[in-house]
Amino acid sequence: MIVSVTMNPSVDISYHLDEFILNEVNRVAHVSKTAGGKGLNVARVIHLLDVPVTATGILGGTLGTFIENQLDRDGIAHDFLKTNQESRNCIAILHEGKQTEILEAGPHFSTKEKNEFLTHFGKFLKAGNIITISGSLPRGFDASVYTEMIRLASEQQIPVLLDCSGKVLEQVLKAKKAMPDLIKPNIDELNQLLGKKLHAENLDGLKTALADPLFADIEWVVVSLGAKGAFVKHNDTYFQVKIPSVQVVNPVGSGDSVVAGLAAAMLQGKSVEDIMKTAMTTGVLNAMETQTGYVNKAKFDLIFQQVEVIEMK
């Protein structure tokens, strides 16, 4: 099965307001509350593809219970380490065509929770499993938590797909202690990592960038390029992956859906080409839906047939 890790899950609350007035009482009639966090999107999409998945990470309090109840409702298996600290709310206020976000920092953990989680994580390290790790870390945890998880998994030859950004990604890669099998930066995250200003159209530039020694020990580097598909390094081979033009409804969570597609296709033992095609298909399918981290499997074949993989010479 696939084990999808979310270290800092949240309850994502959306408040829809015609007008947002500061320093006044704003009453909200249209509210949505969902289990959030990038790894939970990954788990949901894998589940929608009918591939076995378990969601894990750390959660606690009534918001933790809310997240578990939502996963139960959606039929997604889960096994989180429980903490007595309350999980966080992330609030998006949608008003006048704008989005104002209020993101709680969430729980603050120490070495005690780090060790407890690594022990908990150990039970998923069984032959045949694939691990995905997505998103930011809770306060008190640093990149060494991810490095340690990758090290434990690689000792058992269990593939790890890592989708995080900024300092944490940089520190994991530069530590050179244990490398993930796959990373999936988008173009902005790649530019930030390398201190470059590459555009999605600059395929030669992307190829040169991915030849950086930083990526030498990573089997897959999948750079997602939004509507322009992806640029991929698989070992020493480079690919441009083109996607069809579709009616886009909500592309948020498309990156998570790409990770879901990659993991699902790997678990199913698909070819290198079909792993890339599956990942782009799930990214596109998510962009076609209102809900974040959701794909309509019935449209899978239609999109898959239109994805084109071109090897770069």
What residues make contact with ligand ATP under the rule CB under 6 A? 186, 224-227, 229-230, 243, 246, 248, 251-256, 258, 280, 283-284, 287
Is the Cβ of residue 68 or residue 256 nearer to ligand ATP in the bound state? 256
Is the Cβ of residue 152 or residue 169 nearer to ligand ATP in the bound state? 169
Is the Cβ of residue 83 or residue 224 nearer to ligand ATP in the bound state? 224
- Name the residue with the smallest CB distance to ligand ATP: 255
Minimum distance, C-beta of residue 187 to ligand ATP, in the bound complex (Å) = 7
Minimum distance, C-beta of residue 69 to ligand ATP, in the bound complex (Å) = 24
Which residues on adjacent β-strands are paired with residue 130? 2
Q: Given 3-state DSSP classes, what are the helix, strand and coil percentages for the chain, each rounded to the nearest 5? A: 40, 25, 35
Which pair of structure tokens corresponds to residue 228?
A: 């322009």
Is the Cβ of residue 38 or residue 47 nearer to ligand ATP in the bound state? 38
Is the Cβ of residue 17 or residue 248 nearer to ligand ATP in the bound state? 248
Minimum distance, C-beta of residue 184 to ligand ATP, in the bound complex (Å) = 7
Report the length, in residues, of the chain.
313
CA 263 – CA 132 distance, rounded (Å): 7
Is the Cβ of residue 158 or residue 190 nearer to ligand ATP in the bound state? 190
Q: Which of 147, 129, 121, 164 is nearest to 256 (CA)?
A: 164
Minimum distance, C-beta of residue 113 to ligand ATP, in the bound complex (Å) = 27
| Cβ 28 vs Cβ 50: under 8 Å | no
Instruction: Provide CB contacts within 8 A for 123, sequence distance 6+.
Output: 79
Minimum distance, C-beta of residue 308 to ligand ATP, in the bound complex (Å) = 12
Is the Cβ of residue 32 or residue 65 nearer to ligand ATP in the bound state? 32
Minimum distance, C-beta of residue 103 to ligand ATP, in the bound complex (Å) = 15
Instruction: Provide CB contacts within 8 A for 38, sequence distance 6+.
Output: 6, 134, 135, 163, 253, 255, 256
Instruction: Provide CB contacts within 8 A for 297, sequence distance 6+.
Output: 48, 49, 50
Instruction: Return the HEC string of 129-162.
Output: CEEEEECCCCECCCHHHHHHHHHHHHHCCCCEEE
Angle 154-159-162 from CA coordinates, rounded to 5°:
100
Minimum distance, C-beta of residue 253 to ligand ATP, in the bound complex (Å) = 5
